[in-house]
Amino acid sequence: MAQRGPQRRRGYGAAVAWSLVAVVLGYAVLDVADAAPGVLTMRPLPPPPPTETVATRTLPLVPQPSLPTSAGPLLPSLAGDAEAPSIEGVTKALAAVRSLAALRDSALVVRDGQTGQVLFDQRGSEPRIPASTTKLLSATAIGQVFAPDETLRTVVREGDRPDQVVLVAGGDSLLNPGKGDPEAVAGRAGLRDLAEQVAERLKAQGTRRVTLYVDETYADGPTTAPTWAPTFRGSGITGAVAMLGLSTQRARGGAPGPADPVAAVRDAFARQLGSLGVTVVLAPRGRAPGVPGSPLPTPGPSVTTAPTPQTSTATPTAPAGGPGAVLGSVESAPVREQLALALTDSDNALTEILSRQAAYRSGAGTAFAQVGAWVVSQVGALGLDTRGVSLSDASGLSRENRIRADLLSDVLVLGYDGQHPVLRQALDGLPIGGLTGTMADRLAGADHDAAGRARAKTGTLTGANALAGSVVDDSGRLLVFVGMVAGAGTNEARAALDRFVAAIASCGCR
């Protein structure tokens, strides 16, 4: 009996210790999900669907702030015909902000979003760690490969025999495990719909038992980057990068996706076929029967070739019957909507998946560093200066990435010129200050002047914070801004960058 007290105290102490560990881990998850401040990579909450207005020098569609969001007066007209701010006015407006300790080592750039004129540039030519603002460059590159309304097609075709069916990975990582939702971006194409098409074809030809293969030759590559921390996938900071995936298994902070998304889709599809009366035997992973990568994941009558890794060989489209015949197919939401979702949610895996496909279609390699180098080359092909810029991935998780603030501003100005609709919709999907996503708890309090009218891509890695986007100022003029901070704490850097945006939003700066 005399020993029970110490034992209870030791048990109580252990319980307290484990509780503290749980709290710390929980906070880390919230930090990753951008639900709490911290030093880990941020992920935003999903905002409403992005808007789109593509025209010459059009302004982003920004909702009027409500009184709880901003105590200021209603915004002026967004006609965009107001006088542009002056260099002197912007410099004066930023004098107090630039003196903040958190901005001691920072690169700051302000541009007129309608003319592109540089209004302020502080060390904008210095290459810095960009974190998730890397995604702006990736969106620019992706937009040069995919047509504005292009979708991704997931196909099931016959193998060499009627009892062989091949699920062809076509790049859609947002498949609904059930019926597709025509109003959704994640889940537009449904595995149930695909299974019903295939089961109907199989039963019509008298086939009730099949061997299911998966063709993974399209844009195949590693699932994680060597420059990422080993914990990134397991903690949900990113999902595995693969050309098939389920919308219900997207990785989120604290909720990791599967290590093998392709196997998860294959197994779900086999279950769907089984429920429709088709017996399925899973084939070993490896080469599938038939033409590798056929048919192309791009729908429509213009499909006349079938890709193989790193090459394109002229191959007729699959015949209506017999070996290689298409048994069923479903189409994703347009790539530009997926790209907008990737930026809105700061979805690292989805950004990598779309970037890898775009690089593959351009003939580049599919390793992470190869895709990053391709992104830089595509941005340079638009006539933008990429000196000193290097990318080891397309999402911004790598600390080896280097981007200049003035190049990010070039990309933002380019996005509003009316000539790049895929990039434009991606920018319209950026979170809104004080309202949505990563920016929902930003630009509040004393910095409310920019709430409801600033859209920005955030980025945070330990010791590196960034904010890049656009804001409509008090005169209705569209301004583009980029801020990149090194060496400051996360809370201090975020607060200083918010003040930077609020200052240019409210000054008029004439």
Q: What is the mean pLDDT of residues 103-126?
A: 96
Choose between 408 and 324: higher pLDDT.
408
- pLDDT on residue 155: 97
CA dist 424 and 415 (Å) reads: 5
Query: Which residue has better confidence, 450 or 153?
Result: 153
Of 236, 274, 273, residue with least CA distance to 258: 236
Q: pLDDT tens, 193-245?
A: 999 999 999 999 999 999 999 999 999 999 999 999 999 999 999 999 999 99
SS3 content of the chain, % helix, strand, coil (to 5): 35, 15, 50
Q: What's the average model confidence in pLDDT over 278-283?
A: 98
Q: Which two tokens stand for residue 354?
A: 């779309």
Distance CA 341, CA 336 (A): 9
Q: How confident is the model at residue 299 (pLDDT cuts 50, 70, 90)?
A: low
Question: pTM of the full predicted structure?
Answer: 0.82
154/272 Cα distance (integer angstroms): 15
pLDDT for position 426: 85
Position 148 scores a pLDDT of: 83
Q: Give the pair of three-digit tokens for residue 73.
A: 């007066």
Q: What is the CATH number of domain 87-145+338-506?
A: 3.40.710.10
Q: What is the pLDDT, as a whole number, of residue 79?
A: 42
Q: Which pLDDT score is estimated for 278?
A: 98
Contact between 85 and 77 (Cβ < 8 Å): no
Residue 140's pLDDT is what? Answer: 95
What would the mean pLDDT of 161-187 be, rounded to a whole number? 97
Query: Residue 18 carries which side chain, given as an amino acid letter?
Result: W
HSE-CB at 222 with a 13 A cutoff on CA atoms is 13
Q: Which of 440, 443, 383 is nearest to 413 (CA)?
A: 383
Q: Confidence class of residue 314 from pLDDT cuts 50, 70 and 90?
A: very low
Cβ–Cβ under 8 Å, residues 193 and 201: no
Q: Which of 109, 173, 228, 135 lies closest to 431, judged by CA?
A: 135
pLDDT band at 448 (very low <50, low <70, confident <90, very high): confident
According to DSSP, the residues that pair with 457 across neighbouring strands are 468
Closest CA relative to residue 54, chosen from 419, 455, 414, 336: 419
Picking from 423, 378, 383, the residue whose alpha carbon sits closest to that of residue 54 is 423
pLDDT at residue 440 in the model: 85
Residue 119 has pLDDT above 50, yes or no: yes
Identify the residue with better confidence: 108 or 311: 108
- The per-type count for the chain, helices as H runs and strands as E runs, is 13, 14
pLDDT for position 293: 86
Average pLDDT over residues 329-347: 93
Q: Torsions phi, psi of 46, nearest 5?
A: -75, 120
Q: What is the pLDDT of residues 373-395, one digit of tens each?
A: 999 999 999 999 999 999 999 99
Location of structure tokens 């980057």:
225
407-425 pLDDT, tens digit each = 999 999 999 887 888 888 8
Of 59, 62, 61, the closest CA to residue 112 belongs to 59
Contact indicator for 172, 244 with CB cutoff of 8 Å: yes
Please provide the average confidence, as pLDDT, over all residues in the chain.
Answer: 83
pLDDT tens-digit readout, 77-92: 344 556 788 999 999 9
- Cβ 136 vs Cβ 411: under 8 Å: yes
Band of residue 62 on the pLDDT scale cut at 50, 70, 90: very low
**How confident is the model over 304-331, as a mean pLDDT?**
58
Greatest pairwise CA separation for the chain in angstroms: 85
Question: Mean pLDDT throughout 127-152?
Answer: 95
In terms of DSSP bridges, do strands 209-215 and 164-168 run parallel, antiparallel, or are they unpaired?
parallel
DSSP for 230-282?
THHHHTTSS----S--BGGG--BTTB---S-HHHHHHHHHHHHHHHTT-EEEE
Rounded Cα–Cα distance for residues 213 and 444 (Å)? 53
**What is the predicted pLDDT for the residue at 77?**
39
In this model, does residue 55 exceed pLDDT 70?
no
**Between residues 10 and 72, which one has the greater pLDDT?**
10
Proportion of the chain above pLDDT 90, given as a percent: 65
**Where is pLDDT greater, at 349 or 36?**
349
Is the previous residue joined to 295 through a cis bond, with omega within 30 degrees of 0? yes
Return the pLDDT at 23: 40
Domain ranges of the chain: 87-145+338-506, 153-333
